[in-house]
Amino acid sequence: MPISFADRLNNVETSAIRELFKLLGKPGIISFAGGFPDSAMFDVDGIREAVNTALSEEPGGALQYGATEGYQPLREQIASFMHGKGVKDLSPEQLIVTTGSQQGLDLLGKTLISPGDKVIVEGPTFLATIQCFRLYGAQLISAPVDGNGVKTDELEQLMAEHKPKFVYLIPTFGNPSGALLNLERRKAVLAMAVKHQTLIVEDDPYGDLYFGEAPPPSLLALSASVPGSRELLVHCGSLSKVLSPGLRVGWMVGPAELLSRATMCKQFSDAHTSTFAQATAAQYLKAGRMPATLAKVRAVYAERAATMGRALKRELGDAIDFVPPQGGLFVWARLTGAGGKVGDGATFAQRAIEKGVAFVPGAPFYAANPDLSTLRLSFATAGLEKIEEGVGRLGEAI
Ligand code: PMP
């Protein structure tokens, strides 16, 4: 008997990217396709020590069921981590722990989106967000992005025209755009939230991965200086990209009423984030190892990003155009088609696979009106030699 699935599944398709990932198992492929941090970067000793401390000091807390809002010592550590990032007035009760920031996004979908509701996202934006919000029946509106993040004039027009349920942004080193929303635009976004009384979701898993100067403060940090904006702001954070995605520890800051509804939904979903993972994360943060870990990952990714940028310019010349990323894990690029070279991301991805190098074409990252010339290259997991070799292969494939 055919299984009769819920109608909501009709709103999402399995992504084109998944199809591409099937090819990655081919021997000898150099992959710039993933969105993972480098496993070699994990502070295994620090995490082992944190596990041991958690088990010896608080075995009950680490192994028992726990509060849906999160393990209190971790909420305290996260609040203090956020203080260090300029969010001065955050109390542990103003955040809940989520199973990765991905769960935060899912809880927002669950609590806020009714079928047909409009949500504005960036074009391009995180693919899993597109899929997740669509699963709840959202009608996604795409706001254009340039090298300085979302174009705020266009965003405001879209807000006025569509009156969306909320706006979802990745202001700092976005996935896939790598773009950094500048300070002026950050202030403009907060002012617009107040003017249009529209909720803004700031997804910020990459903000700590900067290569040179620190980025401007998060929307959450800046909201203290824009009266009325804090009540319209949700902020999702994560340890995935800086410490370990396998821990599945993220958090969500937001208006009290929203957090309380999200907590209710979380209760039906996973009861709470793994207390074992939370106690480990709490001990890790408490041990004060994060600053050194961050310094290390920033330095390694900065060198890889610079190497990839130089190699792309050398090997692909004017056939490719990109803004060198100042942080995050990705180079977001556009094929220019100059000199009769390939101008379409999907065609180039296919040719690249044949030469033994993989990346993700950009089109699936758009909720609407995809720019077919775009592509996303991750510099995070390949070492410098592999980056040179892989970009060399791209040069043969173009
Ligand atoms: N948001 C963005 C923009 C991401 O790129 C990712 C991971 N790729 C996530 C959220 C989810 O990360 P996690 O659930 O591991 O915190």
DSSP assignment of 143-202: EEEETTEE-HHHHHHHHHHH--SEEEE--BS-TTT--B--HHHHHHHHHHHHHHT-EEEE
**How far is the centre of ligand 1, averaged over its atoms, from the C-alpha of 356 (Å)?**
27
Instruction: State the number of CA atoms in the 13 A half-sphere of 172 facing the CB.
Output: 25
pLDDT of residue 15: 66
Cα–Cα distance, 229 to 213 (Å, whole number): 26
**How far is the centre of ligand 1, averaged over its atoms, from the C-alpha of 21 (Å)?**
18
| Residue 102, ligand 1, Cβ within 6 A | yes
| Residue 378, ligand 1, Cβ within 6 A | no
Residue pair 71/281 in contact by the 8 Å Cβ criterion: no
| Residue 245, ligand 1, Cβ within 6 A | yes
Paired with 120 in beta bridges are 141, 167
H helical segments located in 328-373: 345-354
Q: Is the peptide bond before 255 cis (omega within 30 degrees of 0)?
A: no
User: What is the residue-level pLDDT of the chain in tens, covering all 398 positions?
Assistant: 899 999 999 888 776 666 667 767 778 999 999 989 999 999 999 999 999 999 999 999 999 999 999 999 999 999 999 999 999 989 999 999 999 999 999 999 999 999 999 999 999 999 999 999 999 999 999 999 999 999 999 999 999 999 999 999 999 999 999 999 999 999 999 999 999 999 999 999 999 999 999 999 999 999 999 999 999 999 999 999 999 999 999 999 999 999 999 999 999 999 999 999 999 999 999 999 999 999 999 999 999 999 999 999 999 999 999 999 999 999 999 999 999 999 999 999 999 999 999 999 999 999 999 999 999 999 999 999 999 999 999 999 99
pLDDT of residue 348: 97
pLDDT of residue 16: 62
Three-state DSSP class for 97? strand
Q: What are the phi and psi torsion angles at 232 (to 5°)?
A: -115, 15
Range 38-65 burial, b when 16+ CB lie within 10 A, else e: beebbbeebbebbbebbbeebeebbeee
H helical segments located in 197-289: 219-222, 256-269, 275-286
Distance from CA of residue 221 to its chain's centroid?
18
What end-to-end distance do the CA atoms of the chain give, in Å? 48
Compute how many other C-beta atoms are within 10 angstroms of the C-beta atom of residue 195: 13
**How far is the centre of ligand 1, averaged over its atoms, from the C-alpha of 110 (Å)?**
17
Q: Which two tokens stand for residue 383?
A: 């070492």
- Going from the N-terminus, what domains does the chain have, and what CATH number goes with each? 7-43+292-397 (3.90.1150.10), 45-289 (3.40.640.10)
| Residue 94, ligand 1, Cβ within 6 A | no
Residue pair 75/92 in contact by the 8 Å Cβ criterion: yes
Three-state DSSP class for 105? helix
Residue pair 321/333 in contact by the 8 Å Cβ criterion: yes
| Residue 175, ligand 1, Cβ within 6 A | yes
pLDDT of residue 1: 85
Question: What atom in ligand 1 is closest to the CA of residue 104?
Answer: 14
Q: Residue 140 burial by CB count (10 A; 0-12/13-18/19+): exposed, middle or buried?
A: buried
| Residue 35, ligand 1, Cβ within 6 A | yes
